[in-house]
Structure 1
């Protein structure tokens, strides 16, 4: 058993709170920026450029299928990076995950299109999308561990919200940049980006990610290991294969953690990916939607995401005060009601659409925020990176990988009504609620055990 540590095992914690916050926040912001850049392009660009033309719905579904492919790679990334994180330390693992994501995102921006190289174009897109998912599989749990293992007493959920805050910040950065490019390269057809945007404009956000990665690397290379990991090494508790150990001793926690995240993931990708398709589709289209132009609807989404960020931060103190379980039971119950109320809310005109986005993103913040503390608290330090990563990312397959695809299918099946999409969200939230009722409170667990 060995480990490369940045400081002697007996040294005091050397990470200032500001560095902990910045390191956990900036990495996930970059990772989610990269993911959102792809999600936006999956709606606006890839159906036009990377798949055969002829059927717009089929092309959109194919684009979403590639989007979902990354979720399949995420558990593999969680296993790989979790193994490194539990054996070699959090710092080196986080650097590796960030580099992998950054390189894959940059290369997507340089890909040839279907018109240029045929089926090689979507094949390369799938490979790089898998690399993105593989990297994100190791990113989140590492960032959450940096935040929670270095948190002051009684504020673990608050500190755990900083890596979660990377999701709304990454969304605003990614969609804000796409919005600026679209404004600079306007289209005369609101249902389709301009020729200049499709030729080269869409590549800018992907290529720009390299700048953000450099900043993230600089911050993370200045981290040192947490006391929890150092004590694990000193006590000789590092497992040779953490994956085997966590499945052997913490199977129940793995299953519960996976279902804790299910409603969060489904809501997350319905509000960020499906909503963009539904909001932009014309009311008279074969698959009717709300009929907003791209710029208007993205601005509405960005306004909603501001509430995502606000309630992510508020959820931390709530979970510290009332407990993770009680807080999430209340929020998940609200998600069930929200899913069943989609049709009457959306039928209320522009005010209803804006209310739908605000309520959806607010609930997203309230359910996503406490997960930064809850999932790591389910596992001891010796298998924490692997355990929390597997739960988080297996849930991505059950929730996020299929959510956009199922949503479009239900949207079509319902003749353009979002009713069944909302019912799908409620059904997934019921499964999360059951898991929470079966689980126990983790607020007072010892993170150094």
Structure 2
């Protein structure tokens, strides 16, 4: 009697992979941007009241940055689960954690109601957001790239990256609509009483609907063939973190600095430019005085270029290589940083300054697309299957501390030190670019590696120039 032919494991369809990676990261980045926008607009007033506007803003950014400290912890926890139990379950848990934390922020009482407990609760929920995001990105990148054809990994890897510009547009677009519906009667630079009382809560509460949609999509996934193969080979480790640090510590360090300039650029273009652009020219630290609604519209226009060049970067990285593309783009980021003192400064009245700012934002976000897009494939390719989640997550999220957590605080401090000028902020970006450039030089190209390699014993799975 003939033996029964084993049923092949079900595969995820390309449409399902793209949707699951894109929808999930869109929701995660939406939740993160909602907080970032509120950190500039309302949290300094509602949760960190102070006689000095700069002090209140720095306190708000400090809590914003604190979440970055939780992200490596999330990377370790979710990386452990993802490398040991599989990608699907981990992605569902991270999305649910982020959604619940964001929703609860929308229900928080303010400092005026419960005093110091209010910012303490905000910090706790912000840490939960960071913890969840620590596991989200790598899982989404792995779902995309582990289900991709070998010659299209960078293309597939751009889909989770597209969640960043799409989430930004949805989050800021919603804030824009609410602010326009609840305008201040006298001054467009100020927030109305209705916006401060309840309007700012709507984007946080709206995240619940988006999370339900994301969970529905992700629950339909099955595990990738690469992970299933690693299980069959017995390559799954009891402690993926130990395996990562023992055999892939160099890749973790280089991956961390490869992401550094991307993070610094991203948070300067989103949080800092919003702060500088909307600050009044006669404030403690002078800004451009552009009304909030107008400035966010400028950002949204520029973020469209972020999305376009994120998508363009995938085919380019597949053709020319991830490292080759990033070497060129990082050089351009350094030059862009050195241009801050010329481009991000008042250029006359009204339309003249607005035009310069729009051009500045378009260039910055275009570079952001080119540098962020290839990361969805590049960082995971530095590691074999059995530690791919842990390794890429740690590199990505430790970099968030060095780049994203410190960027808004350092930028505001440098802006204040230069009495409202931005050249020091640009020098900070250029310095970050130099560190990224060095890391790229020390790393091999990953385009042609064997992505199905289960462990470090396969030399092709270790692209770092260790020899």
Q: Which TM-score band applies after superposition, normalised by the shorter structure?
A: over 0.9
Check whether the contact 1:15–1:224 (CA below 8 A) recurs between aligned residues.
yes
Q: SS of the counterpart of 1:122?
A: helix
Check whether the contact 1:13–1:227 (CA below 8 A) recurs between aligned residues.
no
Give matches, 1:404-415, under 5 Å.
Answer: 404-415=408-419
**What is the number of residues matched between the two proteins?**
442
1:86 counterpart (83, 86, 89): 83
Check whether the contact 1:82–1:389 (CA below 8 A) recurs between aligned residues.
yes
- Give how far 1:145 is off: 0.1
Aligned to 1:321: 319
Give matches, 1:26-175, under 5 Å.
Answer: 26-175=23-172
Aligned to 2:241: 243
Check whether the contact 2:75–2:131 (CA below 8 A) recurs between aligned residues.
yes
Residue 352 (1) aligns with residue 350 (2):
no
Check whether the contact 2:266–2:368 (CA below 8 A) recurs between aligned residues.
yes
Residue 432 (1) aligns with residue 401 (2):
no
Check whether the contact 1:9–1:231 (CA below 8 A) recurs between aligned residues.
no
Deviations 1:2-51 (A, max 9, x none): xxxxxx99734510000000000000000000000000000001001001
Check whether the contact 1:91–1:223 (CA below 8 A) recurs between aligned residues.
yes
Q: SS of the counterpart of 2:151?
A: coil
2:11 counterpart (14, 19, 30): 14
Residue 386 (1) aligns with residue 373 (2):
no
* Runs of 4+ residues over 4 Å off in structure 1: none
- Give how far 1:415 is off: 0.5
Give matches, 1:249-268, under 5 Å.
Answer: 249-268=247-266
Check whether the contact 2:111–2:117 (CA below 8 A) recurs between aligned residues.
yes
Check whether the contact 1:13–1:226 (CA below 8 A) recurs between aligned residues.
no
- Give how far 1:286 is off: 1.7
> In the superposition, relative to structure 1, how do residues 168 and 425 fare at CA in structure 2: closer, same or farther (>3 Å)?
same
- Give how far 1:169 is off: 0.2
Aligned to 2:380: 376
Check whether the contact 2:53–2:284 (CA below 8 A) recurs between aligned residues.
no
More off after superposition, 200-209 vs 8-17: 8-17
Residue 183 (1) aligns with residue 180 (2):
yes
Check whether the contact 1:44–1:192 (CA below 8 A) recurs between aligned residues.
no
- Give how far 1:172 is off: 0.1
Check whether the contact 2:307–2:369 (CA below 8 A) recurs between aligned residues.
yes
Aligned to 1:312: 310
TM-score (norm 1): 0.97
Check whether the contact 2:11–2:225 (CA below 8 A) recurs between aligned residues.
no
Deviations 1:348-397 (A, max 9, x none): 43221111000000000000000000000000000000000000000000
Aligned to 1:3: none
Q: SS of the counterpart of 2:150?
A: coil
Residue 420 (1) aligns with residue 424 (2):
yes
1:303 counterpart (294, 301, 307): 301
Q: SS of the counterpart of 1:272?
A: helix
Q: SS of the counterpart of 1:302?
A: helix
RMSD: 1.1
